[in-house]
Structure formats: structure tokens, C-alpha cells
Structure 1
Amino acid sequence: MKKVALLLSLTALSAAAVAQDQTTGPRSGRLASSTDYSPGSSASRNNGFGIKGGFTASNFRGDDKKNFNNEGIYNTFHAGVYAQFGFNNALSLQPEVLYSRQGFKGAPMQYASRGTYDTRLDYIQVPVLLVYNFLDNVSVHVGPQVSLLTKVKEGDTERKIADDNNVYGYSYNSLDYGLAAGVEARVGPARVGGRYTAGFADIIKDPQNAAANSINNIKNGMFQVYVGIGIAD
């Protein structure tokens, strides 16, 4: 994780250094802002696509959170691509496709025989965000997000998402949906931001015994910090 953070920091510094030499846009001698161009033009700051990635602090919430011992934050990462489509100088739509490794620390008290372990959940996420530039290069983002669960690890053991043979006593919900909101700043081709995402679907489904039923009501929650680089914007 330290290596990932260092790489992101170096990327941001490099992008900022390149941006300092840019004089694009009608107002020369300064960085282009979101209001420098007419919407829909090839040079619009609210149109384009790029790559992004960063740090994720993931946890869970819900009524059954109290039934876990040693509960805590699961530190991990996310990465993916984004596109941005401008409506005008202030508003745009930004869909993304992300690989998000998340999960939570904590051991269900009802499964004490397994010991303490971390639960890792790998998702493909698709947020669709409405972006509003309240300053030239600072914006707020908010919108829905749909996520598909692709992999589950409980401790060092990879397990199936569904528990058709009742080996574990419960299955994982393969689909999550929720709401994402955050703030982003742009410097030349680089963007740096923070975002919180709350999942609305239960992580655990189909409890098949009393122990599993006691951990059925938990939902994803995570905070992301990221760096992005615009390839065309």
C-alpha cells in the first residue's frame, strides 16, 4: 500500500509540473478552467476521458455490525477509467468503470471457531455522477452506483459467492447499489479528489441458520482518495 501511495503521489506531482507549463485556452498565461471553452467544443474542459486510481478505506455498517468482534477499517485500492460529457460550463455527466477491492475487518461472534479474519470483496463498479463546477477547477460529484461482486476471500480462503451446498450457511449478494458523493480539484490534466460511497444492498444474503441470520444486515461503506489523468479533455 505504501508503494501505491508513493506512485500516486509521483504521478500527481508529474502532472502538476507539466500543467505549470500549459497556456492552453483563450486566456493565455494560466491553466485552462472549466469555463474557458464553449460546451461541446473539442477543447472543452468538461468533455473527455481518462484514467484514475487511488486508496480505499472500506468498512461496513448496519444493524448487525454489533455482532462482529475486532471490527475495523480495511485499507486497499481502486482503479479504472472515466468519461465526462459537458452540458454547459458548469454541469457535466461522468460515468466510470472501476475495479474496487474493498471489504472489512472483523470476525462474526457466531462463527468464533473460525478465529479473526478479514473479508475481501472485489467489485466492478459503475458510478454515474452529476458534476457541478462551483469554482473554475473545483467540483462536487453526486450520483448512483451499481457494483458487481466478482470475488470473495474470507481470510486466506477464497470462497464462492453463492453457497448452494450450504457449506458456510450463507451467500454473498452479487449485486450492490448505492450513492456516491465527493469533491474534486483539477490542475491541468490531473485531478485529485475524495469520495464516499454508501451501499444500500445487504452484503450477506440467504442466511440458512441462526448464526448466519445474525450477520445478514450489513452494508458496504467506503471512502476513496484518488488521482486521475485526463487523456483527452
Structure 2
Amino acid sequence: MKNLAFPLLAASLLSVPALAQTTGPTGLPSSTDYSAGSNGSDSRNTGFGIKGGFTASNFRGDDKKNYADEGIYNTFHAGIYTQYGFNDKFSIQPELLYSRQGFAGNNGLPNAQGQKIVGAYNTRLDYIQVPVLLVYNFLDNVSVHVGPQVSLLTKVRENGVERKIANDDNKYSYAYNSLDYGLAAGLEARLGPARIGGRYVAGFNEIIKDQDLAKTGNKAISDIKNGAFQVYVGIGFNR
């Protein structure tokens, strides 16, 4: 599955402009079909909706070299969004998402039960994410999205074993940061009320904090950060 992740993401992103170019003859609404309403916006970019899709997650950073057997963690995300259009080109779009992320690899460290990790190894990170995106329609039904994102870590599982996020009992050799922040950017096409899009999300905060190098054999693993490709579909409702 992981060998198909990036080809699938690339094909989906490349299809966005092509799909949107086919909307003209079908009679689907264009930006010029919307007049100013009571909210003062002449854009169909004012509304709300639901979305969800596939996530290919990994990690990056200086300590990435200390992980062996690195791989893509294939998972999903889902949530809701609202959007306010300033005009027929620009709008702002806050979202509330549940995103399951993580990474695969082998750092040779004990897991939450103190067992040595050998062979396949994966870490699952469950986040509640709030991106706030500036949306620009560079084509009538195709837009670019970019903006900051804040994420709250709610659960961690290492090789299927749940562990604490904080390192408050000094049991573990390292702890996980409960907060992440970063930048999201991508493309989206509209087909009537339906949406299809793809984006990359780069986390700027370290995933792991408070590492005790004495317990990890002086092997640094703290400087790793989230990175994820997301492909999604959604349904929007205009106001």
C-alpha cells in the first residue's frame, strides 16, 4: 500500500485542473452566477461543508537519520469547514479536522511497555487540527489554499500500545509534544457542490520532547517533525 501512496497523491493533484476545466459546458455554476447577498459577498465561496480522505504521513528533521526501515504511514482525516468569500477570487476557510498521522521506522528504543522494538515499528499520532486557510480562485472552479495550522495531540500508540503524551511520571525515556503548529498548502477543484483536492501539511514543532539521552543510549530522536500529504473529497453548502 505504501508504495502506491505517492503515485496516488500525484495523480489526484494533477487531475484537479483537468477536472475543473470540464465544468464549463456542463452548466455547473461559475463565479459570475453569484450576485451580492445579504452577507455582502458576491462570491459562491461563502458557506460550509464536510470533507474527508486519505493521508500519507511521515516525518522529517535532523534526527530522521537515526531511524531505520523508514516508511509511509497510510491513514485518514475527516472534518468540517466554513468559508467566507470577500469577492469572487478571495476567501478565508477555517476547518476543524480529526487527523490520524504518524510514521513507520525503527529507532531501536523500548516501547511503552519497556520491550525492545525490533522489525516493523510504527507510531500513530491522533490530532485535532485547526487550519485557517486563505483561498484564491486562480481559475473559475480551481483554487489554491495556504495558511497556518494548529494541532492538538490527543492519543499516541506505539506498535499498537497506547502510551501517555506527557512524561510526568519519569517512566519513559522521551515524551510527545501535545501541540504542533505548521503550514498547509494545496489545490482544490469544484464540481458543483462536490470538492476534490490535495494538500501538504508541514509541522514546525518537534514531535518528541524531553528526551533523556542517558536512557536512549545517547541516540537523539527528538528533532523530528510531522509531514503529511492529504487527498480529500467534500460536499459544500453555499449560504
> TM-score per shorter chain, which class?
0.7 to 0.9
Aligned counterpart in structure 2 of residue 196 of structure 1, from 191, 196, 200:
200
Aligned-residue sequence identity (percent) comes to: 70
* Distance change (3 Å), C-alpha of 1:74 and 1:39: farther
Match of residue 59 from structure 2: 60
Counterpart selection for 1:114 from 100, 117, 125: 117
Pair 1:34-2:18 in alignment? no
SS at match of 1:114: coil
Q: Is the 8 A contact 1:35 1:90 kept in 2?
A: no
The answer (yes or no) to whether the contact 1:50–1:229 under 8 Å persists in 2 is yes
Change (3 A) 1:207 1:28: closer
- Counterpart residue type for residue 29 of structure 2: A
Whole-Å separation in 1 of the counterparts to 2:223 and 2:208: 7
Does the C-alpha gap of structure 1 residues 155 and 229 become closer, same or farther in structure 2, counting only changes over 3 Å?
A: same
State how far apart, in whole Å, the 2-side matches of 1:230 and 1:101 are.
Answer: 23
- Encode CA deviations 1:128-157: one digit per residue, 9 max, x unaligned: 000000011000000000000000000010
Higher deviation after alignment, 31-40 or 82-91: 31-40
Deviation at 1:113, TM superposition (A): 2.3
Which residue of 2 is the match for residue 96 of structure 1?
Answer: 95
The equivalent of 1:148 in structure 2 is 152
159, 162, 167: which one pairs with 1:163? 167
Gaps of 5+ in 2: 2-7, 9-18
Q: Judging changes above 3 Å, is the alpha-carbon distance between structure 1 residues 29 and 53 closer, same or farther for their aligned structure 2 residues?
A: closer
Deviation at residue 41 of structure 1 after TM alignment:
5.2
1:231 corresponds to 2:234: no
TM-superposed deviation, 1:114 = 1.9
Q: Deviations over 1:61-88 (max 9, x none)?
A: 0000010111110000000001110001
Structure 2 residue aligned with 1:206: 210
Equivalent residue for 2:138, pick from 122, 134, 156: 134
How well do the aligned residues superpose, as a CA RMSD in angstroms? 2.4
Give the Å deviation of 1:33: 1.8
Structure 2 letter corresponding to 1:102: Q
Paired residues in the alignment total: 211
Residue type of the alignment partner of 1:203: I
* TM-score, with structure 2 as normaliser: 0.82
- Name the residue aligned to 1:24: none
* Partner Cα distance (1:29, 1:208) in 2: 61
Q: Does 136-145 or 110-119 show the bigger shift?
A: 110-119
Q: Residues of 2 paired with 1:39 and 1:226: CA distance? A: 30
What is the alpha-carbon distance in structure 2 between the residues aligned to residue 28 and residue 172 of structure 1?
Answer: 51
3-state SS in 2 of match to 1:109: coil
Any idea what SS the aligned residue of 1:163 has? coil
Normalised to the residue count of structure 1, the TM-score between the two structures is 0.84
Shift in Å at residue 36 of structure 1? 2.5
SS in 2 for 1:150: strand
1:168, distance to aligned residue in structure 2 (A): 1.8
Residue aligned with 1:32, SS: coil
Question: Aligned to 2:31, what secondary structure does the other structure show?
Answer: coil
Between 152-161 and 41-50, the greater mean CA deviation after superposition: 41-50
Change (3 A) 1:35 1:215: farther
Residue 35 of structure 1 deviates from its aligned partner by 3.6
**Which deviates the most, 88-97 or 201-210?**
201-210
SS at match of 2:92: strand
* Segments of 4+ moved more than 6 angstroms: none
Task: Using the TM superposition, give the Cα deviation of residue 28 of structure 1 relative to its aligned residue in structure 2, in angstroms.
Answer: 11
